[in-house]
Amino acid sequence: MIIHTCAKVNLTLEMLRRRPDGYHDLMTVFQAIDLCDRIHLEPADELALTVSGADIPADASNLCWRAAALLAERAGRRPEVALRVEKRIPVGAGLGGGSGNAAGVLGALARLWQLDLGDEELVALGAELGSDVAFFLRGGAALGSGRGEVLEPLPAWSGRAIVVLAPREAVSTGRVYGALRQFRPAAGAASRLLADGLRSGNVPAPEQWLVNDLEAPAAEVSAAVRDDAERLAVLGLSAYRLSGSGGAWFHLADEADSAAVVGRLQAIWPGRAIWVTRPVTYGWCEVSEE
């Protein structure tokens, strides 16, 4: 079986408060995009994992490995699968690539092993693996709260291309949260405004909701994010933000403008990866053999 697992951007990301367990309560509108990793799953004698396209460990610390091991344990069976992961989504980017991989492995193995698991059980397993994993089980667009694992599906955002600028260096999510000190008095207002707009089909202009409360702490812990922010500010782009905890950025472009935006970004950062992506209505999908 071969699957594609998506990346996401946070169209809004608002911090509510620090919790006693060390996590943060937040409100966010997730949107899955068609920048994808590819994972091959094949029956095997024991759990095995290889990764290409990114310099990340292919051992028991990898979220794909942990997803397969956790599902097998809960299903009371051996994790007899070989996973081959081809990374295209940059890591340490705030694009949720690892979380999407974990969700795809959970969903695909539940199918392959013919497990009788409900959505809720899978979401609970996903939340054990990471705050964003639950989102990718369903994908599309969703209003996220709690630490990101409490989800309300939304109609996917439509009408625009999402230009994604790759990070210059990987950024640690834990360090960014560690530098967070400011919380909004009316946290959730931007996310609710966008969620209402998506539900009614009448989305207000991005200036009214395009926020990311992790942008300032990310700039504090990463010199690359700080430098990017300074250079992007003078470009005069209309609607861009850091994605999640960074270091990737995204820009909401009109379809007709996306090529011009890419050109302007390439002029500043020749050779840096840039993708013109589209919103999608899923988080992972099965693809046919090639």
**Residues of the shown chain interacting with ligand C5P in the complex, contacts defined by CB under 6 A:** 23-24, 26, 130-132, 147-148, 173-174, 177
> Cβ neighbours of residue 273 under 8 Å, at least 6 residues apart?
90, 165, 166
- C-alpha distances (whole Å) from 71 to each of 17, 109, 116, 127 are 31, 8, 12, 12
Between 23 and 282, name the residue whose CB sits nearer to ligand C5P: 23
Between 19 and 78, name the residue whose CB sits nearer to ligand C5P: 19
Query: Pairing relation of β-strands 48-52 and 81-86?
Result: parallel
Give me the least distance between CB of 147 and ligand C5P, in Å please: 3
Give me the least distance between CB of 168 and ligand C5P, in Å please: 21
Active-site residue set: 8, 132
Give me the least distance between CB of 244 and ligand C5P, in Å please: 9
- The whole-angstrom separation of Cα 28 and Cα 13 is 4
Between 21 and 116, name the residue whose CB sits nearer to ligand C5P: 21
- The whole-angstrom separation of Cα 179 and Cα 185 is 18
User: Tokens in use for 101?
Assistant: 């991989």
User: Tokens in use for 190?
Assistant: 């931007």
Between 15 and 71, name the residue whose CB sits nearer to ligand C5P: 15
- The whole-angstrom separation of Cα 233 and Cα 203 is 25
Contact 287, 3 (CB under 8 A): yes
User: Tokens in use for 243?
Assistant: 């994605």
Give me the least distance between CB of 13 and ligand C5P, in Å please: 10
Give me the least distance between CB of 207 and ligand C5P, in Å please: 26
Between 18 and 84, name the residue whose CB sits nearer to ligand C5P: 18
Contact 232, 205 (CB under 8 A): no
Phi (first) and psi of residue 187, to 5 degrees: -60, 140
For 210: left if phi > 0, alpha if psi spans -120 to 50, otherwise beta; the answer is beta
> Cβ neighbours of residue 196 under 8 Å, at least 6 residues apart?
none
